[in-house]
Amino acid sequence: MIKIDFNSNNTKVYWAGILFTIVLFLLCRCLYIVHHSSATSIPPPASYGTEAASHTELRGRLNGEDWMASESKKRRARMASQRVKLTFEQLEARHLMSVSSPAPPMLEHMLDAPLLEQMDTSQPLDTNYTPMVYAGADMTVSIADGAVINGEVIANIPSSLSITWSLVSGPGSATFSDPGLPSTTVTFSLAGTYELELTAVNGGIAASNRVIVTVEGSVPEDVVVVTGTAITEKYEVDPAKDRAWDARGAEFLVESVTHGMISLEGDETETGMLWAGGYVESNKPWDATWLDHKDGNPGELTRNSTAIDMKGFDLTVSGLHFFNVHDGVRTNNAFDWQIQHVWGEYVRDDCVESDGWNSGQIVDSLFDGCYTGISTRPSSSHPEYDGTGEVLLIDRVLLRMEAMPYPYRWQTKSGNIDENGDPWDENSGDIPYRHGNLFKMEEEDPRNIHFIIRDSVFLMDHENLNSDDFDFPPEEFIDEMTNVTVIWLGEGEFPGYLPPGDITVVTGQAGLDLWTEKVTDWHDRHPDVGPTRKPSEPGTFVFPRMFPTPLVLGEMTMIGPSDTEWFATSQSAQNYVHELQTEVTRLEKRHQEMTTDINPRERAIERGQKREDKTLADIERLQGELDMEKGRLKSAYILAESLDDEKSALKQEAFR
């Protein structure tokens, strides 16, 4: 038996050492527990793949020894070696959220040091950070199958996150099954290479990423080819699901057509229809009044006309060119519509009329001269319209406002200017000019549609117009405003309202140069839109804009000065004579009113009389020209009868 003497000095030292070791161990353990419990005081989200993501499923537990195997250890070691300032514990405190499911593979290459170091850990936990966006890997698919795109978005505050897919470029249209989800399916109208963009906005902070999709193969195409020049009859499509109309060889002349010159209309089963190409203009003179273009009374020749009227579901207008029309594109009764690659000029009312408060997109289009930019103001006859939850996307749009002659209610509304840009004097006899609103809407109506405006340029000038004509939509109706430029060419500061967002105002020569650059680039990228009508100097413009009225012979149309001799039917010339006589009658009536005024305006009467004399002289001159043209026309027809083989070629050369 071994006996231990507890009273010996050696034994006392031995047990004192053991007791000290135990106390030291317990103290260290307590400090360890306190430290780690404070580092993870903010609990992780409860679930993954719904409104918040579980970090346990993203990268394993933070506490104890339960790590996600070797990869997590390797990642942590790699980050430590790069002197990362943001630990995984801090990352969890930031409550990063993934809206994709299952766990996104892009975390492997996005949660690296350079990206994490951009996050300022000193900010409050509810601060928005730039979202992480990954559009997926480039792919090649068949046109019959479409593509399944597995995009991914990570943001730290899910409640303020919005996501949108859009088409950047491609030979046809791209239709997303749900453009508001990072992972979606997309179908394509034509084979070729498409660039798609996934954009996420986290509390006003936007980020985007693009993916290239190569589409191969072909599908049976339901394409109707539309050709002809100076087509004056209303064109109403024969609707069918996914049918397309190739109108690149068609020119339309609005003479006596009410509402849309082209009617793209289908029911809820006839979705996916596409109108591509074409040219639409009217025969109204450059200085026709707003009311002349409107023809607002029932039975008038061009009552409330527009280049194309869209009615239906998932409709697209692409590559259309229109000039000197009342409205450009009308979408009042269209749902989930798209306007893309469109070129509009000298539009006497709304470049785009979308008064039905239905979601749609205006993409990569040039509107070079609008009386009103974009209208989203329903008629009082439709009190049932409600834009709640609807969004209008304006993406890569160039839009220039243009003051135009005899505007809406020019006799009573303020803000008119003369041809020098000075305030208009109603006693001067000069033509009044004005334009309408950049965005025409009911600003106080909470049912208004909302706007997303990206990568777009708006040009305005003439400081003597009404300042509210330059206003953007109120802040409460703007969901996103990213990379927007306002070119202001008037005196002083830009007078219109600008909502908060990513907006830059450029003035003077820098603004003109920027507009020229953007318009030139647009035409270079769209060689098939109006190929025979491209401007010699893109981006340049004059005020006021003047041009000849189109003259028509049979199915041929001549527009503007030409080296080719003009031939005109007697009816066309007589119509012009009638217009001049109508102007004389109007001036005579005005002259009579002025002479019976209590305070006669002698100077205005004198100017009016001079204008009457000039008009009568023009009528006499035109009558002589008409007689000469009749003789030339008769000679031309006699010659054509003897030259049957050359008849067609001569006509095309003469009237091209």
Helix (H) or strand (E) holding 108: helix 107-110
One domain, residues 230 and 379: yes
Domain annotation covers residue 544:
no
**pLDDT of amino acid 96:** 40
Last residue of a domain, one of 198, 216, 234: 216
Which tokens go with 352?
């785009």
One domain, residues 202 and 347: no
Among left, alpha and beta (phi > 0; psi -120 to 50; other), residue 648 is: alpha
Confidence of residue 314 (pLDDT cuts 50, 70, 90): very high
Angle between helices 602-642 and 644-655 (to 10 degrees): 160
Domain annotation covers residue 327:
yes
State the virtual CA torsion across 177, 182, 183, 189 in degrees, nearest 10.
40
Q: What is the mean pLDDT of residues 404-409?
A: 91
**pLDDT of amino acid 95:** 36
One domain, residues 210 and 228: no
Confidence of residue 605 (pLDDT cuts 50, 70, 90): low
Instruction: Examine the pLDDT at 327 and tell me if it is beyond 70.
Output: yes
Residue 275 dihedral angles phi and psi, to the nearest 5°: -110, 125
Instruction: Examine the pLDDT at 644 and tell me if it is beyond 70.
Output: no
Q: If you average pLDDT over each of 25-39, 269-283, 378-392, which comes out highest?
A: 269-283
Instruction: Examine the pLDDT at 130 and tell me if it is beyond 90.
Output: no
The CATH number of the domain holding residue 209 is 2.60.40.10
Last residue of a domain, one of 216, 235, 270: 216
More confident call, 581 vs 198: 198
Alpha helices, DSSP H only, in 396-463?
none
Share of the chain above pLDDT 70, in %: 64
HSE toward the beta carbon, residue 6, CA cutoff 13 A: 2
Domain annotation covers residue 540:
no
One domain, residues 299 and 406: yes
One domain, residues 513 and 627: no
Domain annotation covers residue 45:
no
One domain, residues 138 and 203: yes
Q: Global pTM?
A: 0.57
Instruction: Examine the pLDDT at 517 and tell me if it is beyond 60.
Output: yes
**pLDDT of amino acid 207:** 87
Q: If you average pLDDT over each of 174-178, 511-515, 554-558, 652-656, which comes out highest?
A: 511-515
**pLDDT of amino acid 80:** 38
Query: For 236-260, what is each residue's pLDDT tens digit?
Result: 999 999 899 999 999 999 988 888 8
Confidence of residue 85 (pLDDT cuts 50, 70, 90): very low
Give CA angle at 383 (380, 385), nearest 5°.
115
HSE toward the beta carbon, residue 283, CA cutoff 13 A: 21
For 554, which DSSP code? Answer: T
Domain annotation covers residue 122:
no
Domain annotation covers residue 292:
yes
Cα–Cα distances in angstroms (integers) from residue 204 to residues 134, 157, 196, 608, in the given order: 18, 12, 21, 57
What's the one-letter identity of residue 616? L
Give yes or no for a cis peptide into 405 (omega within 30° of 0). Answer: no
State the virtual CA torsion across 187, 190, 193, 197 in degrees, nearest 10.
-40
One domain, residues 384 and 478: yes
Instruction: Examine the pLDDT at 42 and tell me if it is beyond 90.
Output: no
Domain annotation covers residue 44:
no
Which tokens go with 205?
């902070």
Among left, alpha and beta (phi > 0; psi -120 to 50; other), residue 324 is: left
Instruction: Examine the pLDDT at 328 and tell me if it is beyond 90.
Output: yes
CA dihedral (603, 604, 605, 610) positive or negative? positive
One domain, residues 212 and 231: no
Last residue of a domain, one of 155, 189, 216: 216
One domain, residues 346 and 407: yes
**pLDDT of amino acid 382:** 80
**pLDDT of amino acid 9:** 58
Contacts of 80 (CB under 8 A, 6+ apart): none
Query: For 425-475, what is each residue's pLDDT tens digit?
Result: 988 889 999 999 999 998 888 899 999 999 999 999 998 888 889 999 999
Instruction: Examine the pLDDT at 560 and tell me if it is beyond 70.
Output: no
Contacts of 566 (CB under 8 A, 6+ apart): 551, 558, 629
Query: For 611-621, what is each residue's pLDDT tens digit?
Result: 677 667 767 77
**pLDDT of amino acid 572:** 43
Compute the distance between CA of residue 520 and CA of residue 539 in angstroms, rounded to an integer: 6
| Number of domains the chain is built from | 5
Q: Is 622 exposed, middle or buried (0-12, 13-18, 19+ CB in 10 A)?
A: middle
Segments forming the whole domain that contains residue 190 = 132-216
One domain, residues 30 and 172: no
**pLDDT of amino acid 584:** 63
The chain-wide mean pLDDT, for the chain, equals: 76
| DSSP-assigned beta bridge partners for residue 227 | 249
Q: Residue 556, Cβ neighbours under 10 Å: how many? A: 16
Share of the chain above pLDDT 90, in %: 40
What's the one-letter identity of residue 499? P
Q: What is the mean pLDDT of residues 367-391?
A: 90
Helix (H) or strand (E) holding 63: none
Domain annotation covers residue 542:
no
**pLDDT of amino acid 549:** 65
One domain, residues 433 and 329: yes
Helix (H) or strand (E) holding 420: none
**pLDDT of amino acid 646:** 61
One domain, residues 379 and 416: yes
